[in-house]
Amino acid sequence: MDERDAIDERTPVIVGVGQFNDRPERPEDGLDPVGLMAEALRRADRDAGGGMLAECGSLAVVSQLAWPQLNPVDGKLAEALGIAPAHSEQTAMPNGDSPIRLLHEAANRIGAGDARICAVVGAEALRTAAKLAAAKAKAGDDKPNALRDASYRRRVGYAQSYGLTVPVDVYPLYENAGRAAYGQSLAEGQAESGALWAGMSEIAAQCDHAWIRDAVAAEDIVTPSERNRPIAFPYTKLQVANSSVNQGAGFLVTSLAEARRRGIPEERLIHIGYGAAAHENGDFLQRDSYAGSPGLTVSIARTLELNGVTAADLDHVELYSCFPCVPKMARRVLDWPLDRPITRFGGLTFGGGPIGNYMSHAVACMVETLRETGGRGLLFANGGYATHNHTILLSAEPTEAQFPQDFDYQAEADALRGEIPPLDEAYCGPAAIETYTVHYARDGAPRLGTVVARTPAGARTLASVPPEDKATLDLLTSGAHEPVGSAGTILAGETGDDLRRWVPDAA
């Protein structure tokens, strides 16, 4: 084997992609996540020309939460497919960065000679699971919610007591802090969100794989209505990830040499470039700021640098879009224009939000796009509570990237991070708003305001705004003045079990 052949054996390429949406007329006829994953990989195998899945040496699965009784699913999936890979794994959590990390690790296995064919897949059947559970549950408050009911979210601690339990409760903290840091008014911040989401809805309307294929106007996305209820200020239903889907997606990675031995046409091979990952503290109260993310910044900036490209060299991007604050931060690092598309799948609202596996769909759509148009595509993934970040480049042409590669750039992110304020859970006294949100009931009525505040000593603390305090809730949501930075006082609850309350200083 000459040097060129040896390099080709270590050069990873994506050769097959598959996606599947399950829309059963009756919930009991729906596929579970294992069935969705199996179908997605069968489609990926056909896309690659057939025969590759049977020889798969590595099977990596994104964790699912729709059917917890099935976990772990990698062994069940291998059995369903009739394969026996030497390496099999399921991620510990269904984080949004998981598909890109697993893609990167598959490329590293190919580059190290540890595997010849790798499969990455994930799926959620939350729509079917919810309908089956609802049929067994009582009406009203007993309505199941797989996201809030997940075992790792059931504990009640300090943050949860103040309404910060699931991602939709937490990401608005970044939205409101970011808007203030960008110097935007509420109307300007919402206009940016509307423009980004309307653009994604237009992509989804043209994408065969998207769950919702209706283009929506920007104003309709950000304006609360009977069909677009407020969720957590300033987000409405059409600004948050749509997890009520049954979707599976996966892809196959092999070496350039193996692809050629199998006769796969060169124009169907998508090359993998360099990538970078960096993360924030898993505790979202232990962040230096809610106006940005060093992990996000390093992940994107380092990927561009490693590949020797700028945003102007990119033909397509997928900027993770669970909530508007994430692509807003990402596009500012990239300097990506507002009028250029930020997705090839349609975003987590319209393409579909299958919890941790969205980016598998993004990979599949980016592969299909690059096959058609050529050029380069950047994939940026985010997971947790604005916690995990992983970016990678794909290209229709060969890249200079060499594998295996170390994608861990945590030290760089840590060096960029500012001082993390201490947490004072019992503080009462003067405190200014660092960021905030308001949580809404299903009927659109405010149920709780949450304020993240800073004390005169620089500590961080939480406080509430009860629903009956309409004047303070109006201060937080009207847009008449920017609430971030507003001075106020945190008062103790009337009893030991009551939440501490933030009240603004008199004007």
Task: Encode pLDDT of 207-243 as tens digits.
Answer: 999 999 999 999 999 999 999 999 999 999 999 999 9
Strand, coil or helix: what is 1?
A: coil
Where is 228: in which H helix or E strand? none
Pair 462, 408 in one domain: no
Residue 202 domain-assigned (yes or no): no
Give pLDDT, residue 141.
44
Closest C-alpha to 425, from 447, 449, 448, 455 = 455
CATH code of the domain covering residue 442: 2.40.50.840
Task: Encode pLDDT of 358-396 as tens digits.
Answer: 999 999 999 999 999 999 999 999 999 999 999 999 999
Let me know the angle formed at the C-alpha of 37 by 34 and 40, rounded to the nearest 5 degrees: 150
CATH code of the domain covering residue 28: 3.40.47.10
Pair 398, 287 in one domain: yes
Q: How confident is the model at residue 498 (pLDDT cuts 50, 70, 90)?
A: confident
Residue 136 domain-assigned (yes or no): no
% of the chain at pLDDT higher than 70: 95
Give pLDDT, residue 191.
98
Give pLDDT, residue 494.
78
How confident is the model over 255-283, as a mean pLDDT? 97
- Provide the mean pLDDT of the chain: 94
* Domain end call among 389, 416, 443: 416
Pair 70, 91 in one domain: yes
Residue for token pair 């110097």:
183
Give pLDDT, residue 153.
44
Residue 233 domain-assigned (yes or no): no
Pair 351, 410 in one domain: yes
Residue 133 domain-assigned (yes or no): no
Distance of CA 439 to the CA centre of its chain: 21
Pair 394, 263 in one domain: yes
Domain that holds residue 473: 429-504
Pair 304, 433 in one domain: no
Q: How confident is the model at residue 146 (pLDDT cuts 50, 70, 90)?
A: low
Strand, coil or helix: what is 359?
A: helix
Give pLDDT, residue 412.
98
Q: How many separate domains does the chain show?
A: 2
Pair 276, 397 in one domain: yes
Residue 272 domain-assigned (yes or no): yes
Pair 391, 326 in one domain: yes
* Domain end call among 416, 444, 465: 416
pLDDT at residue 39 above 70?
A: yes
Residue 236 domain-assigned (yes or no): no
With a CB cutoff of 8 Å and minimum separation 6, the contacts of 156 are none
Give pLDDT, residue 445.
96
Asked whether the beta carbons of 340 and 195 are under 8 A apart, the reply is: no
Strand, coil or helix: what is 439?
A: strand
Residue 21 domain-assigned (yes or no): yes
Pair 436, 405 in one domain: no
Pair 373, 476 in one domain: no
Give pLDDT, residue 119.
98
More confident residue, 366 or 493: 366
Pair 443, 328 in one domain: no
Task: Encode pLDDT of 460-469 as tens digits.
Answer: 999 999 999 9
Residue 406 domain-assigned (yes or no): yes
How, if at all, do strands 246-255 and 117-125 pair?
A: antiparallel
Pair 399, 322 in one domain: yes
DSSP-assigned letter for residue 411:
H
Give pLDDT, residue 134.
84
